Structure 1
C-alpha cells in the first residue's frame, strides 16, 4: 500500500509540474503565434551610412515580406558600438527590439570595454547574415596602382607612411598591426575617435593608407578618391576584378581577420519560437533575388549561418581577438 501511495504521489507531482509548465509555456506560445503584431525595431549600434547600417537596411526591408510588419532601423551610435549593444541587451525580450551584432561589437569590445564584458549572457545570437570584405586602400598622391607597387614603396621608406584606424584596440587597429607584423612593414598607426574621422583624413591625404569595409569604401573607390590595393575576401569581387585577396597572396590569417560579419541578436529571455520566426524571416530575406543582388553590388555575401554555429564563431573570434589585443598590450577601459 505504501509503495502504491508513493507512486501515486510521484505521478501527481509530475502531473502538477507538467501542468505548471504548460501554463508558463502557453503565454509564450500565444505571443509567438501572434508575433509580430506591430513593427519591429532593429538597432544598429553605428551611425547611418556605414557598412553595418547599409547591410541592416537591406536585410530589414527583405524581412518585411515574411514578417508582415515593417522592420525599422534605429541607429544608436557611440563608444565603438557599445551604446547600441547595451540598448539591445536592456530591451524587453519580446522580439520587438532586435539588434545587429558585428565582429567588433561581439568579439573585440568585450576585451577592451569593461562595460561590454558585463553584457556576457545578456544577448542571444539569432542568425549570422553576411560576410563583408575589407579593402586596403591608399590615397592617389601615394602614386601606386597595385599591391606590389604599394609594398615596394612602404618597404623603401619605413615609417614614412601612416594609416588611420578607428581607435586603439579596434578591429582596424588589429588588422593594421597584424599587417605590419606579417608583411614586415612599418606603417605608422594613427588612432582616431571613430572610423569617420579616420576616413576623412585618408580622403584628404593626411594619412596615406586606410582599411575599411567594402560597402562603405566603394563610393570613394569609384570616385577615384582612394585606390584599392588588396582585399580580405574569400574571392575577388566583380566590382574590383584586378584587386587580389590576401588569401591568394598567401596570407590566410590576414584574410580571415579582415573579413567582417554581421548578424542578428536579441535580448536574453526572448522566447525560442520568436527567435525561430526571426531566423526564418532573415533567411527568407537573404534568399530573395533582390536582396542578393543588392548585397552583391556592395561586395557582401549572404551566409545563413544558424544559431548554434553563429554562437560558436562568436566564441572562436572572441578568443582569437583577445590574444591579439593582449599581444598589443591593450587593456580594458
Structure 2
C-alpha cells in the first residue's frame, strides 16, 4: 500500500543494515530447503524480484530456496498461507504490505494482520503509474480531468480491484477534484494490461513493471501521472500527484519479506541480515531499478513500525473515502 514517510526513509538506509544483536540462530539453521511464497502470479515484477532474492539467499545459506506462487485476492491468499505455516523459519512470504494494512479494512481476511505475521524486511517500493490507452485522446492528466468534468461518466478508470491501492488512489482523486470517474475493477494486472492495449477503457492505475515500461516506450500506453516521492528518472516529464495538487493520491506500493508470527527472533534476525546482504548485491539492485522499482532494506523493527503506521493511515483513508467490500 501507500509508502508513508516512515517507509520512504528506509530507501536512504544502508542496505547492509541488520536487525540488531539478537541471539544467534541455531547452528543447524537452515538444515533443509526454505519455501518462499510469492503472493502474486508468476511473471510479474514481484515474482522476478522474489526469485532474484531467493537465488542469493540460497547461495548465502547453503540450502535451496523454493519459490511458490500463491496469487489471488490482492495478495491475501499468499499471506494467509504464510500465517498458517509452521513458525520455524522455513516458510517465508513475499508480498506488498496491502494484505496487512489495507485489505483488512475493506474485506474479510482469514488471518489477524497484527498478530499472525512477522515482518522480516522491506524489499522495495513500486511507484503507481496512471497511464492512458488509445481510447483517451488527451495528452495530460489535466486533460483527463477536463474530459471527466465536461462529460461525466466518459472516463473509465481500470484498477486491479476493489480496495486496492489503485482504488484508493482513484477515490482520493475523485474527492479532491470532484470529477465523475468510473472505476473498472480487475482481478489482476495481466488482464488489466491486455485490455488496456485493446483500448477497453481510457486510463488505468498500475504498478511499475518491465512489461509496462516496454509498452510505454513503444507508444502503446502513455503515462500521465505517478504516485512516488519524486519524479522517476526514467519518466522525468511525468508529474507526481503531489505536484498535481493531489498529495493524498501520491501513493506507492511497498513490498517485503514476511514470516509466521511466532518464528524465533534469532532466526528472523539471521534472515534479515542475509536478505539485506542479498538486496545489496549490484545485480539484484540493477534488476529492481530496471524493473521500475526502488530497493529499500533495513531492519525488521523499522519495517514493522512502518506497517503499523500504514495500517492506521489506511483505516482513516478507507473510512473517509467510504470504501466498502463488494
Deviation, 1:39, is: 2.5
> TM-score, with normalisation over the residues of structure 2?
0.85
Cα–Cα, structure 1 residues 171 and 154, in superposed 2: closer, same or farther, change >3 Å? same
Report the counterpart of residue 321 of structure 1 in structure 2.
Answer: 314
RCO higher in 1 or 2 (8 Å CA, sep ≥ 6)?
2
* 1:114-140 Cα deviation digits (max 9, x unpaired): 334535411111111111111100102
* Aligned: 1:35 with 2:29: yes
* Residues 73-82 or 142-151, more deviating: 142-151
* Aligned: 1:171 with 2:180: no
Q: What are structure 1's unaligned runs of at least 5 residues?
A: 1-28
Q: Say how many residue pairs are matched.
A: 303
> TM-score, with normalisation over the residues of structure 1?
0.83
* 1:270-327 Cα deviation digits (max 9, x unpaired): 1112111110111111211111111111221111132122112111211222222223
Cα–Cα, structure 1 residues 252 and 119, in superposed 2: closer, same or farther, change >3 Å? closer
Alignment map for 1:88-99 (pairs within 5 Å): 88-99=82-93
Deviation, 1:93, is: 1.2
Cα–Cα, structure 1 residues 168 and 30, in superposed 2: closer, same or farther, change >3 Å? closer
* 1:196-242 Cα deviation digits (max 9, x unpaired): 33333222111111010011532332332211111111222232222
* Aligned: 1:103 with 2:68: no
Aligned-pair Cα RMSD in Å? 2.2
* Aligned: 1:112 with 2:102: no
- Check the 8 A contact 1:109/1:116 in 2, yes or no: no
* Residues 100-109 or 187-196, more deviating: 187-196
Q: What are structure 2's unaligned runs of at least 5 residues?
A: 1-22
* Aligned: 1:127 with 2:140: no
* 1:30-88 Cα deviation digits (max 9, x unpaired): 96222222332110111112332233223223333422333222101122222211111
Q: In 1, distance between residues paired with 2:154 and 2:264? A: 55
Q: In 2, distance between residues paired with 1:149 and 1:168? A: 26
Q: In 2, distance between residues paired with 1:118 and 1:315? A: 13
Q: In 1, distance between residues paired with 2:24 and 2:238? A: 52
Partner SS, residue 205 of structure 1: coil
Write 1 or 2 for the structure with the bigger share of helix: 1
- Check the 8 A contact 2:25/2:270 in 1, yes or no: no
Deviation, 1:178, is: 0.9
Report the counterpart of residue 257 of structure 2 in structure 1.
Answer: 264
Q: In 2, distance between residues paired with 1:58 and 1:229? A: 30
Report the counterpart of residue 18 of structure 1 in structure 2.
Answer: none
* Aligned: 1:229 with 2:191: no
